[in-house]
Amino acid sequence: MNEQQLRKLPKATVHHHFDGSVRFETIVDLAKHNSLDLGVKDNDQLYQKVKVRTPMTDLQSVLDTFWTTQKVLCNYEAIKRIAFENVEDCFRDGVKLAELRFAPTFISEGKNLSNDEIIEAVLDGITQGMDKYPIQIGLISIVPRSLDLEKNKLANLDIIKYKKSHHKSSDRLVGFDLADDEESTDPSLWAPLALEAREAGLQVTVHSGEGTKAEYVKTSIDTYGAKRIGHGIAIVDDQNILDYVKENNIHLEICPTSNWLTNCVPSLREHPIGELYKKGVSISINADDPQLMDIDLVNEYLVCHKYWDFGAQDFHKINRQTTEHSFLDDDIKQAILKQFF
């Protein structure tokens, strides 16, 4: 299958950080319009700073890239624009259902920007996108483990407030996610936030088993009530936990290129997505932070076709599984399944 064929292929994606995926021209435009200092002397230097194209050698390099992009998420208008453009980018990849995730505490860090402004802008941006394009969008709120617990608690409450609000797209707030280094904090610290989210009708996914051991995946399922796992590729090394994931119908949101760029796998060819798929684990194919990593979702399909010989039937099965495990309302999922998968 070639790129043109794969672009036309209907797709579903559920692991896409919109606050880590800002078009380069948008970064340039917003920095100029808002007089932002991004610490570079020209656009060539900026491009090198905001793109990750080869495996990173240290965590700080990754963080520098994220925090440079974070600066342009500076007000309601900028955030709404970026949310809309992420919907548009998904549509251009052939996506029919997408879940975009964002972290209010990450976006607001170092700025005079309220959670309400951020959430409102995201909701308005995806609403604009869905009004223009035939695509269904869900939103997942991220709690970054590395940021302030009290600020994360407030952001969680504000997400829940908007979920219960009369905003046109309040029903699109569907998920809760824990991200960042899972080894540095006690899992029980975040359990009350996950419970609070579940009780408000949000479903849970957790970044786990990415660059850590398989047992973290089981902990995420048992402690937070996770129905999906972001990445989770470490389970390939532990048959008992792999079986546990299958028995509990846990879905893995897999991002091949991202795992290579963050040194979770030594090469794309050695990524375990093919083995996990063959062993019957429910998986999706995702681009994670596509603009930051200078890829798109079609690139990930090309990678899967090239290295693991995934074909049209495999992609159809994977996208059906992805849609079935989406956190969007059942009527939306059933309509997508009936029309495309």
Per-residue pLDDT at 255: 97
77 tagged catalytic: no
Which CATH number describes the domain made up of 13-327? 3.20.20.140
**Residue 242 predicted with pLDDT over 60:** yes
Window from 41-55, 61-75, 302-316 with minimum mean pLDDT: 61-75
51, 12, 315, 250 alpha-carbon torsion, rounded to 10°: 100
Per-residue pLDDT at 60: 59
Per-residue pLDDT at 309: 96
Q: What is the mean pLDDT of the chain?
A: 95
Using DSSP bridges, classify how beta strands 283-285 and 251-254 pair: parallel, antiparallel or unpaired: parallel
Residue type, position 149, single letter: L
Domain range annotation of the chain: 13-327
What the block records as the tokens of 145 is: 């483990």
**Residue 180 predicted with pLDDT over 90:** no
Per-residue pLDDT at 284: 98
Per-residue pLDDT at 58: 61
Q: Which residue in the list 99, 117, 210, 253 is annotated as catalytic?
A: 210
